[in-house]
Amino acid sequence: MAYSHFVAKQRNQAEDAPWQSEQALLRRIRSRAGTAGGGALRVGIGDDCAVLRPRPGEELAVTTDLSIAGRHFRIEWHSPESIGHRTLVRGLSDLAAMGARPLTAFLSLGLPRTLTLQGQRGSAAWMSRFFDGLLRLAKAHRVQLAGGDLAESPLAVADIVLVGAVPRGRALLRSGARPGDLLYLTGALGAAAAGFRRLARLKGNVPAKIHGALGAHLFPQPRVAQGEWLRRRGLATAAIDVSDGLSTDLAHVCEESGVAAEVEADALPIDREATLEQALHGGEDYELLFAAGPSARLPRFIAGVPVTRIGRVVKPKPGRPPVALITGHGSRSLRAHGWEHFA
């Protein structure tokens, strides 16, 4: 970990940036990093590595997600707060899919020089607002920013690493689904894709009051509490987060579990602003898709979020795509075809 690297490098590049202000930058990040993490963090920002002390009987879940300007966000459309939030949500959602309790985050951030400068005339700097968005979500989920790296980069890139804790041998995996299991989904699908279309039409002129699909795209909520609930109850045989789209992520579960799946189109919880295509392939909804045995009794809501049964797990057929969509007109194969916003 090397926020200190950044300090060294900036010093050489900018004769006009005094040592004092760079030290101040590092101090600001350190002071804002918080002190959550449930006491697991023994050494935080300021050394070569962070040191984590797991509780006895716990394993650690680790995930990393890379966000790149022009692919995962657009500087000219997304607010800095939204980009910070969206950077962190990708990692938190991976932890949710394992049923892990978030502990610490690490952020590697490459930014053009223009985005690291102090704001003019009292306006908050881009980087400060980025951390506002990231740290607000971190606080809501009791995650401590424990380190990372900073570098100047012609292209804005952010790689987020999340470390979570899970009782030994109890992580929810993609690989446990069995024929006969039923498939469930938290929340609704397609909102993030519909919200992105709206953002594109607005060309970034986002209204002050954000709601509906636009809100779901700009500030999606990871299903951390729902994942932990499923892990504690031991009901789910397999789980994944729907970050790449239902068709893609369900195919991953099928591949890792060695099964196939049938999805009932009429059962899908589709956001009111979204189309069926956006629900099937949209991605970035960060809902949890999970399988449970046929006798498992799932509540209608988990931690305030609705749960819907959307299909079933079946035996795979050789040479056939693993996921089928059942409609009023019969069955058709559902090709994995995740939505790619910026392609």
Q: With respect to a second copy, which residue has the nearer C-beta, 175 or 327?
A: 175
Residue of 17, 136, 167, 256 that binds a second copy (CB under 8 A): 256
Strands 144-152 and 101-111: parallel
Cα torsion 41, 45, 48, 49 to 10°: value is 30
Kindly provide the b/e burial profile for residues 279-298, where b requires at least 16 CB atoms within 10 angstroms of the residue's own CB. bbbbbbbbbbbbbbeeeeeb
Identify whether the C-beta of residue 193 lies closer than 8 Å to the C-beta of residue 278.
yes
Q: With respect to a second copy, which residue has the nearer C-beta, 169 or 330?
A: 169
By CB under 8 A, the residues from 96 to 115 that bind a second copy are 97-98, 100, 104, 106-110
Rg (CA), the chain: 21
Residue 11, interface with a second copy (CB under 8 A)?
Answer: yes
Q: How far is the CB of 4 from a second copy (least distance, A)?
A: 5
Identify whether the C-beta of residue 149 lies closer than 8 Å to the C-beta of residue 1.
yes
Q: Which residues contact 138 (CB under 8 A, 6 or more apart)?
A: 34, 36, 88, 105, 144, 145
Q: How far is the CB of 41 from a second copy (least distance, A)?
A: 10
End-to-end CA distance of the chain: 32
Residue 95, interface with a second copy (CB under 8 A)?
Answer: yes
Applying CB under 8 A, the site for a second copy has a residue count of 83
By CB under 8 A, the residues from 34 to 73 that bind a second copy are 42-43, 46-54, 56, 59-66, 68, 70-72
Q: How far is the CB of 47 from a second copy (least distance, A)?
A: 5
Enter the tokens of residue 7. 């300090």
Q: How far is the CB of 276 from a second copy (least distance, A)?
A: 18
By CB under 8 A, the residues from 159 to 218 that bind a second copy are 159, 161-164, 166, 168-169, 171, 173-175
Q: With respect to a second copy, which residue has the nearer C-beta, 48 or 76?
A: 48
Q: With respect to a second copy, which residue has the nearer C-beta, 104 or 128?
A: 104
